[in-house]
Amino acid sequence: MPKHRVIGGVVVTTPEGVFANYRPAAHLMPAEVWEIVRPVAITASRAADYVSVASAHHCLGTVAHFLAWAHREGLSLDLESIFVPDYVERYCATALRHLATETQSTRRGYLRRVGAACTKRAPWPPPPKPFATNHTIQPPYGAEEVEALWAAAKSQATDNRERVATAMLTLGLGVGVKPGEMLAVTAGTVKAHPQDPRLVVILLEDRVVPVRSQYVEHLLDLCDRYPEEPLVGVHKETAKDPLGALRQNVQWPEWLAFRPARLRTTWMADVLAQNLRISEFMTIAGTVSSKSLEVIAPYVAQRIEHDEYLFAAAGLARR
C-alpha cells in the first residue's frame, strides 16, 4: 500500500497532511456543510490515532459523512453527544443500507474506533488487551487490513503467487482452516450442502466447515482452475515447511505483518459474531482452547444497540 496519497492536488505523506487537505466531493457534501462539520471531524479523527495515510483518509471521510448526516438530522455535533453507539448504529442501518455488507462493516469499524477514542462517557466497550509478545494466539486482522491483503493478492507478480495468496486468504478468512490444513484442501473436498446449494462446505479430516458466503465465489473459482491439485499449490509433502515454501515469494504490504494464523483468528471473530452457540462453534473450528476464546472475545462485535445482548441473554425478543 503506498505511503502517500494525492489529496486536493497535494501529495500527502502524513495523517496531519490528510486533515489539512481533505475536502469531500461537492456533489456528496455541500461546502457550507463541510465548513460546519470539518473541525469536529478532524478532532474526532485525530483522536483515533491512525498511523497510515490511507487509514487516516478513509477515517476522516467516514467521520465527515457521519457528522453531515447528524447535522441533517438536527443532532448535536458535540463529541460526547453524537459519538455514541445508538447514533452510530442508526446511521449505519439507515444511511449506509445501500452499501455492501463489507463496506458497511468497514465504516462502522472506523466510527466505533473514533467514538471510543474521542469520548469519555459514551458506553463503548473497552479496548482489547494487548497481546503478550510470547502469546501463541494472533490477533485478528481489522477490516482495512483484510482489504489490503486482498488488494495485494490480486497484484502479485506471477500467476502462481496470485494463486497461493488467494487460496490462503480464501481458506483462512473464509473457512478458518489451520495453516497446516490448507495443504489438504482440494476441489474434491469442496461440496454443496445437499439441503441447500447456497451452503458450500469443506470436508476436512476431522470436521465439516461451512464456507462464509462472501468467499464462496473465490473458492469455486480456485476449484475450477485447479480441479486436481491442492488449491494452495503443489508442494513436497516431505518438506519441513511446505506452506512456508509456497508462500515465501508472495509479496504483502510492508506495513502489514502477514501471519497465516491471524487469518484463522479473524475467521473466529467473524463467526462468533453470527450468534452460534459455543458448542456449535467448536464443532466447526476444531481444537479451540478456552484461552483462545478468552483472547478472541474482545474482538467479537457486540450487539450494543439498545442493550440487545441483555434481551437475548434473558430469552426475550425486543418489542
Predicted local confidence at residue 136, as pLDDT? 58
pLDDT for position 2: 46
Give the largest CA-CA distance in the chain: 66
pLDDT confidence of residue 214: 94
Residue 133's pLDDT is 46
Which portions of the chain are predicted below pLDDT 70?
1-4, 126-136, 238, 303-306, 318-319
Residue 301 burial (C-beta neighbours within 10 Å; 0-12, 13-18, 19+): middle
Over residues 247-305, the pLDDT tens digits come to 988 999 888 889 898 999 999 999 988 888 888 998 999 877 777 787 788 788 776 66
In sequence order, the 6+-apart residues with CB closer than 8 A to the CB of 1 are: 52, 54, 148, 151, 253, 255, 256
Structure confidence at residue 4 (pLDDT): 62
Q: What is the pLDDT of residue 128?
A: 55
Helices 85-94 and 53-72, packing angle to 10 deg: 90
pLDDT at 11: 87
pLDDT at residue 134, as a whole number: 44
The residues facing 190 across adjacent strands are 202
Nearest to 273 by CA among 306, 289, 296, 292: 296
Residue type (1 letter), 178: K
pLDDT number for residue 1: 41
